[in-house]
Amino acid sequence: MLAVTDVRFEHYHPPNTLGVQNSTPRISWKIAHHDTRSTQNGYEIELTKYGHSQEVHDVLTASQQSQENILNPWPFQAPLQSREHVSIRVRVWDEQQEKSPWSEPAYLEVGLLHRSDWTCERITAPWASETTEASPEDLLRRQFVLRDSPVKARLYITAQGVYEAEINGQRVGDYFLAPGWTSYNGRLEYQTYDVISHLVNGSNCIGIRVAEGWFCGRIGFEGGHRNIWGPHTAVLAQLEVTYVDGQTCRIESDGSWKVIQGPTRLAEIYDGEKYDMMMEVSNWSSVMDEESLKGWTNAKTLTFPPESTQLVAGFAEPVRRIETINPVKEITTPSGKKVLDFGQNLVGYLRLSGIKGSNGHKIILQHAEVMENGELGIRPLRICQAKDEITLKDSQKELFWEPRFTFHGFRYAQIDNWPGSFDLSCIEAVVCHTDMKPAGHFSCSDPLLNQLYRNIVWGMRGNFLSVPTDCPQRDERMGWTGDLSLFGPTACLIYDCSGILKNWLIDLAYDQDVLDGVPPMVSPNATLPDPIWCRRVPCAIWHDVTIIAPWVLYQESGDESILTQQYDSMMKWMKVLPRMESGLWDPKPFQLGDWLDPAAPPDQPWKGATDAKMVSNMFLLQSLDLMSKICGVLGQKDEQQIFKEDYQATRVEFQQEYVTPRGRLTSDSQAAYALAICLDLLDPAQRVRAGDRLVELVRKNEFKVGTGFAATPFLCEALASTGRLTCD
């Protein structure tokens, strides 16, 4: 008999099915085979709709003769509505019409699908203004009275900045750095929280901390820029409460909210947090009397975000605090500094407990990935401070602290000015990243390969924090498109990246439209104010991500919708990509090529051993080939043929320009041969000769990697696919 397990909506993983932005979600499930000779021959889906107090409101069923159990279309005539709460059960039958038991139910609640669902106002502090200096966090609050105990309560909330919400003194949810990083002018994501357990009959209070985050904090290398997406922070919040009689009330952000500056005096992505315990506001998110509210002022209302800014629930899993790591060693440096070694490069922050001190005493935490000459190695951070500073207060109790609005990439942490005797148990590292689900695991008999795999996993975890980034520690941490072009296939083997990459690609397409079809180098495009990095200059590999990343997601998930979603973005890139009459890349635009080739001068990392123009044409051919395949999947037969013929003609031009009849390349490098082999740019005889030459170059380089950014992912594959797993 068959059994149905793990019923899912779209690519959502529970508990991330509260407040989704989808009215006709596709449905998937797994089949457990008690008899391997039986297979699914059809399915039945039961939809249960719930009322305001979770009573069953309606039950519908739909059946389909099908062997498909992945991403089946919504089978019911009516789409779901905003706020609707439903569950799904599935059962299947085999060739003998024997039905499985019903699966366990999978639950889903729709978010706010329409702008008209939002009735709150956008609010900020009255002192908020554009400034070149970092601003402290703001605390916003609203006190309210409930006439009865609610049976349902949802908080819909977002911020231009980063926020944490509290109700009656208790933090709401477990998200970190919400609402995350998007191209805020195009898309502002909101979150939905079930807050029924936080509310009581009678007086209540909601409080929201908001800090600058990516929205208006300093972002970008070489000093970066502030206020890229707006001049200051703001909040949108809508608390909807339902009573047992079905009546509802809303507590909405508006001018009646109160605001005061909070104890977090600096909250920067790069530079860290400065927190002053002496400025803490007692019970700030709890019910207060009027006397206690002296010093608070009314919030300032702002216009609602324009129609051009979508207000949506995202598709990605949220960033969460995933695990904690204890220090493995305490180091005393030659200069007498105290440094903790956590034994693992990680991304997150330090959590302190058991602190006792006096008013004004400052603890300073400095983070870095390496030690240099026995001291903490902060040189690679450039002008990123990566430093947290905590000002203590007098207290009879032991104090606790952790940052809310920053993160660091580090293995080592220098602890300066710890009060009294130091105990390792007082400090732990909290690991943070987008809460993706593992897609697989690798292990083998070779401990070095196992460690390499673990390093890759940890590296990915640290760089997939809201968006896929290049690094987690220095003054960069941006969504470089070239990084994802090349690491995407590996990423999707390690974690289920469907949500985070679908999300990121939507923003990429928005940023591309801002630049009239040329994709940005980073997305969200933090280089907007930068005249150098935000030029409308096409670049191979980096801009080919518009095609490569959706194709990788499709290959890993079988989900054609990602190709449909990004098709316009792909076509826009292909139309603006500058080419000569021969079909090859126009040689005038600057190309990064095999970026960071080990042989390149450190101050000119694009000047590697491989002609950058050759590399750009190799990836042009890959994009043409992928576009032909993508058009085929989507049923675009005319376009499929156009891209196929374009690929074939351009491949001939490429071979005439860069390849000898015997398979030697004009750039005689590991990168050139690895890319030519893996991207299928050679005829069979040329491929054999190229494989031989690649082995010769590997031997000549004493079996060291001689490739840069573009070719390293292909090097081992090229050796293996030409029968050179060993170079004896």
Q: Dump pLDDT digits (tens) for 555-572.
A: 999 999 999 999 999 999
- Section 619-640 average pLDDT: 98
Average pLDDT of the chain, as a whole number: 96
Q: pTM for this structure?
A: 0.95
**Rounded to an integer, what distance in angstroms lies between the CA atom of residue 552 and that of residue 543?**
15
Per-residue model confidence (pLDDT) at position 531: 77
Per-residue model confidence (pLDDT) at position 530: 81
pLDDT at 56 over 70: yes
- Residue 132's pLDDT band (cuts 50, 70, 90): confident
pLDDT at 180 over 90: yes
Per-residue model confidence (pLDDT) at position 33: 80
The pLDDT tens digits of the residues spanning 275-317 come to 999 999 999 999 999 888 999 999 999 999 999 999 999 999 9
pLDDT at 183 over 70: yes
Higher local confidence (pLDDT), 259 or 727: 259
Higher local confidence (pLDDT), 273 or 397: 273
| Sign (positive or negative) of CA dihedral 438, 444, 447, 448 | negative
Per-residue model confidence (pLDDT) at position 222: 83
- Residue 724's pLDDT band (cuts 50, 70, 90): confident
pLDDT at 1 over 90: no
Percentage above 90 pLDDT, the chain: 91
Closest CA to 431 of 316, 270, 319: 319
Per-residue model confidence (pLDDT) at position 727: 54
Domains and CATH numbers, the chain: 2-110 (2.60.40.10), 115-316 (2.60.120.260), 322-434 (2.60.120.260), 436-577 (1.50.10.10)
**Rounded to an integer, what distance in angstroms lies between the CA atom of residue 25 and that of residue 71?**
9
For residue 106, CA distances in Å to 208, 309, 653 come to 31, 32, 54
- Residue 705's pLDDT band (cuts 50, 70, 90): very high
Per-residue model confidence (pLDDT) at position 476: 93
- Residue 663's pLDDT band (cuts 50, 70, 90): confident
| Sign (positive or negative) of CA dihedral 603, 608, 611, 617 | negative
pLDDT at 527 over 80: yes
- Section 497-516 average pLDDT: 97
- Residue 186's pLDDT band (cuts 50, 70, 90): very high
For the record, the structure tokens of 624 come out as: 């043409």
> Which DSSP category does 576 fall into?
H
